[in-house]
Structure 1
Amino acid sequence: MRLSRLQIAASTASVLTFIAALATEALPSLPYTTGFAPHWVTAAAALAGAGFAFFERPVAVGWLSSVLLLWSAGGLVLDCFRAFFVVTGIPAGEFARVDGPGMAGRALSLAATGLVGALVLRRTRLPSGPWLGYTAFALGFIYPTVKLYWSLGGSFLRPADYSEGFPYGELIMLAIGAVGSLALVQAWGRRLPRGLVLSGGWTGAAMLSTMGSMSVFGTLSQLMGVTDGPVPLGDASAVVMVSCVYGSWLLFGLAVAGATLAYQRQTARVLAR
């Protein structure tokens, strides 16, 4: 059986992720990684991903592997922020410490997610029409709006120890996400450089979906007693807040990914004419 380059890449990334999960299991971790995907989940997902990459069936295994690998990649954005302070030397206290081996493993998990997911999605038909982009546009408002509401004195579901100021950063990211989502589905987006739109779409999808999966799956696993986590399960409002607010990140990321894939396919057909 002859394997395609995508199959080889997906199986290689999955095997490397499996090795990294086994190699880092016994290493000490930092407190910020509490609630991240357990090593055994990563190892099992990577093993399933390698098998699917080789045989490309059953599709359910490919989907399950992709989802669990996405959870395993959760926290990579936090790793990158911490690594920035380590590299630049900017004083940041505890935030300047990064789990290097774990970061490498999560980066491999993200690569395996994308490659195994690409194998699954190349046989998947996406819904027609621009609704994925408009859905992403709408979902992007949830988190910044909640932070704005809390900063203006709103108390519904606000954490007891919430002390953040006006959400300038979140509103800037809202503007970027809104423009990016619309660029994927509106006519003016076709006039932008294709590489710019694709790189922005896939980068945004990766950041949002990994952060969202970290919080959503981490909370679910904590509720089931599989892992420890930072969410106070005795506080119903905290559980609801994580599920709704951070769940919106996951949905936002998946919607952006779908809209980006649709844009990629549509523009590829135009270029092929």
Structure 2
Amino acid sequence: MTFSQPAPTSAGAESPGRLLDNSPSRDRLRANRRTAHAAFIWVMVFLAWHIVWFLTGLNAPAAADHHGVARILFYVFSAVVYLMVVVGTLLPLALANQSWGRRIPRWMLMSAAWTGSALLSARGLAGIVDDFVRAIGVLPNGLTGLTTAQTLGTDHPSSWAVFAGCATDLLFAIGGLLFGLAALSFQRASVRLLA
């Protein structure tokens, strides 16, 4: 790390100095903030996309579609998804070195960021591949084995429904990439600060 000249303190001792603006550590911190803020912006876009889905009347899972144990599992799954949304919204801000984020152990932030990246990437890439193999006819029922009617609610979906499904898959993949970049950048910045 590059430090400025130590400044005398009131007691006559020297302070450890501060990082120069052009130091490699400062660059890592800036990169960390940029990638974390990019991940946060993605979260906001992704939440807005869900509002678009709702306002345009696209199919979404509902508790009324399930009965018995399936309904209970639906509620449990929904609670887990809502928890992931809350964590996923706050995590980029914590990675951006917010004062409250520095109180969270590094291993927890790293674990959450890499897990989020893996889950978002897996969901996005699986959806993209599923859409692709359906579209070219290699697997008419995609990777999941589900028919178009089962995935989109009708045998003849509107072009908007098809576009929205593909856009959602792409958004998941982009989110995985951004959370991965934020995790990597945080890892590099925090390792350097610990050294």
Task: Please give the TM-score of this superposition, normalised by the length of structure 1.
Answer: 0.45
Between structure 1 and structure 2, the one with the greater Rg is: 2
2:43 maps to which of 118, 140, 147 = 140
Measure how far apart 1:254 and its partner are. Answer: 1.0
1:262 pairs with 2:185: yes
The answer to whether the Cα contact below 8 Å between 1:132 and 1:259 also exists between their aligned partners in 2 is yes
Q: Partners in 1 of 2:102 and 2:147 — Cα distance?
A: 42
1:181 pairs with 2:92: yes
Seen in structure 2, the aligned counterparts of structure 1 residues 271 and 174 have a Cα distance that, compared at 3 Å, is same
Q: Partners in 1 of 2:40 and 2:80 — Cα distance?
A: 17
Moved more, 139-148 or 199-208: 139-148
SS of 1:187's equivalent in the other structure is coil
SS of 2:31's equivalent in the other structure is coil
SS of 1:130's equivalent in the other structure is helix
SS of 1:174's equivalent in the other structure is helix
1:253 maps to which of 176, 184, 187 = 176
Seen in structure 2, the aligned counterparts of structure 1 residues 157 and 218 have a Cα distance that, compared at 3 Å, is farther
| Aligned residue number for residue 158 of structure 1 | 58
Q: How many percent identity over aligned positions?
A: 25
The answer to whether the Cα contact below 8 Å between 1:180 and 1:197 also exists between their aligned partners in 2 is yes
The answer to whether the Cα contact below 8 Å between 1:157 and 1:238 also exists between their aligned partners in 2 is no
| Aligned residue number for residue 167 of structure 2 | 244
Measure how far apart 1:150 and its partner are. Answer: 5.2
Seen in structure 2, the aligned counterparts of structure 1 residues 130 and 231 have a Cα distance that, compared at 3 Å, is farther
CA-atom RMSD in angstroms: 3.0
1:200 maps to which of 96, 106, 112 = 112
Measure how far apart 1:247 and its partner are. Answer: 1.8
Letter in 2 for 1:271: L
Q: Partners in 1 of 2:128 and 2:102 — Cα distance?
A: 34
**Structure with more contact order per residue of length (Cα contacts < 8 Å, sep ≥ 6):** 2
SS of 2:139's equivalent in the other structure is coil
Measure how far apart 1:269 and its partner are. Answer: 0.9
The answer to whether the Cα contact below 8 Å between 2:40 and 2:92 also exists between their aligned partners in 1 is yes
- 1:13-162 paired onto structure 2 within 5 Å: 128=31, 130-147=33-50, 154=55, 156=56, 158-159=58-59, 162=60
Q: Partners in 1 of 2:104 and 2:83 — Cα distance?
A: 21
| Aligned residue number for residue 72 of structure 2 | none
2:135 maps to which of 223, 234, 244 = 223
Seen in structure 2, the aligned counterparts of structure 1 residues 130 and 234 have a Cα distance that, compared at 3 Å, is farther
SS of 2:193's equivalent in the other structure is helix
Letter in 2 for 1:164: A
Letter in 2 for 1:158: L
Seen in structure 2, the aligned counterparts of structure 1 residues 240 and 135 have a Cα distance that, compared at 3 Å, is same
Task: Please give the TM-score of this superposition, normalised by the length of structure 2.
Answer: 0.60
Seen in structure 2, the aligned counterparts of structure 1 residues 195 and 129 have a Cα distance that, compared at 3 Å, is closer
1:211 maps to which of 102, 118, 123 = 123
CA deviation string 1:86-125 (max 9, x = no partner): xxxxxxxxxxxxxxxxxxxxxxxxxxxxxxxxxxxxxxx9
